[in-house]
Chain A
C-alpha cells in the first residue's frame, strides 16, 4: 500500500488524518481511492478532468509525480500546494 501524506486543509477534509494508506497502481488511482474514502476532498486535488490541479504538487518518494506515475508498495506520496501566489 502507498502512504499518502496530507496537510491542512486537505487533512481536515480527509477525516482529520494526515496519513492515509491506500491501494492503487498509479498516482491517479490512489487519489481516486482517497476521494472515495473521503468524499469531502473530491475536487480539491483532482479537477473534473481527473487532472491534478495546476498549483498542487505531488511528490512520490521525494520526486515529482504525475497522474500516470506508477506506484510500488510502500511508496510515500506527499500532496503539497505549490510555491505560488500573489
Chain B
C-alpha cells in the first residue's frame, strides 16, 4: 500500500492505493486552505505540512495521523520588528542528523528544526547575506524551494532559490557562497548574464549515490553539476523543451533524472497537448519520453515544481505527479507505464510519497 500526500489549493489529501490502480482519499486536512507542500519524515513517521492561509499567514503543522489533529509548529517566522514578513513555505527536507529538518520559504529563507519539526529557527547567516537587498523574486515569489543535503555529512548543503540561484554551504549553514558557474539566464540581456544574481532555479536535486552530482531544472535549461554545485553543464538537448518545474532522481542511480517539460515560460503547459515524463539514465546525454498511459491528446497540463515525487529505486521505482487540473498520475515501474491515481482534486501544488 502506497500513501501519497497531495498538497492542493484547497487542502491536503492523503491518498492510499496500489501503483497502477486508482487511489482512495484516506484523509483531507486543512479544508479550504492552500497546502503548498506536505511530507512524512521517514525517520519519525511524523507528517509535516506547509499551509499558507490567505488570511492568517504561512504556518507549518505536524501530526502523527493525517486524519487526526495537527499541531502548529513554533518559530516559523522572521525576526520581529523588521520590514519583512514570511510569505510562504515551499519545502521541508529531512537533514542528516536525527530529528534535523530544513524548511525553505519566501522571501528566500531557510529554517532549521532539531526536534523533528516541532520548533524551528531561522538560519541567520543566510538571512543576513549582504547581497539580500539586491535579490529579486521570480513569478512565484522569492522562494527557497530546493534543499539538497549530502548523505552522511550534515555539514554540506545546497539550496536553490527563484530567482537568486544556487547557494552552497560546507559548515552546516554557517557560511554560504554562490554555486552558479555555467548557468545561463537567457531572460536577461547577454551583456548582463555574467554578473546577474537573477538566476531562476526551478528545482534542484542531489544524486544520493554520487553526492557531488546534482541535477537542476532551470528557467530555460536543464543542468547537471559534477562538482557539488560549483559549476553546471547544460543537458537539455533532446528534450522537447528545456522549460519546466518538477524533477525527480532515482536515489540508486546517479545517472538518472526525470523532468516534465512545459512549452515555455510564456506558455506553461505540456507540449503538443501531450503529457510526457522524460527520463535520462546517462546523466543527461540522452532523454527518453515516458508517456504510456498518460493523456496523449488535448491535454494541456501545468505541473508545478513540488508536484512530482517518487519512492524506491530501480525498475520498480514509484513515481507520481499532479497537475493544476487536479489529476494525479502514478507509475509503479519507474515511468514505463502510467495510470490515473486520482482525478478531480483541487489544483495540485505538491505530491510526495509518505
Contact call A48/B79, Cβ cutoff below 8 A: yes
Complex interface: stretch among B83-91, B218-226, B305-313: B83-91
CB neighbours (8 Å) of A56 from chain B are 55-56
Contact-residue bracket for chain A: 10 to 19
Q: Are B56 and A48 in contact (CB under 8 A)?
A: no
CB neighbours of B82 from chain A (8 A): 48-49
A residues near B (Cβ < 8 Å) are: 9-10, 40, 43-45, 47-51, 53, 55-56, 81-82, 84-86
Task: List 17 additional A-B contacts (Cβ < 8 Å) besides A48-B79, A50-B80, A51-B85.
Answer: A10-B56, A43-B56, A43-B57, A43-B77, A47-B57, A47-B85, A47-B86, A48-B78, A48-B84, A48-B85, A49-B82, A49-B85, A50-B81, A53-B56, A53-B57, A55-B55, A81-B55
CB B69 to nearest CB in A, in angstroms, measures 12
Q: Are B72 and A40 in contact (CB under 8 A)?
A: yes
C-alpha gap A44/B76 in the complex (Å): 12
Judged by DSSP, the binding face of B is loop
Kindly report which residue of chain A lies nearest to residue B78, judged by CB atoms: A48
Q: Is the CB of A44 within 8 A of B57?
A: yes
Q: What sequence of 0s and 1s flags, for each residue 47-84 of chain B, a beta carbon within 8 Å of any chain A beta carbon?
A: 00000001111010000000000001000011111111
Q: Return the chain A residue nearest B9 by Cβ.
A: A86
Give the shortest distance, in Å, between A67 (CB) and chain B (any CB).
13
Which residue on chain A has the smallest CB distance to residue B86?
A48
Inter-chain contact B56/A44, CB cutoff 8 Å: yes
Q: How many angstroms between the C-alpha atoms of A9 and B57 in the bound complex?
A: 13
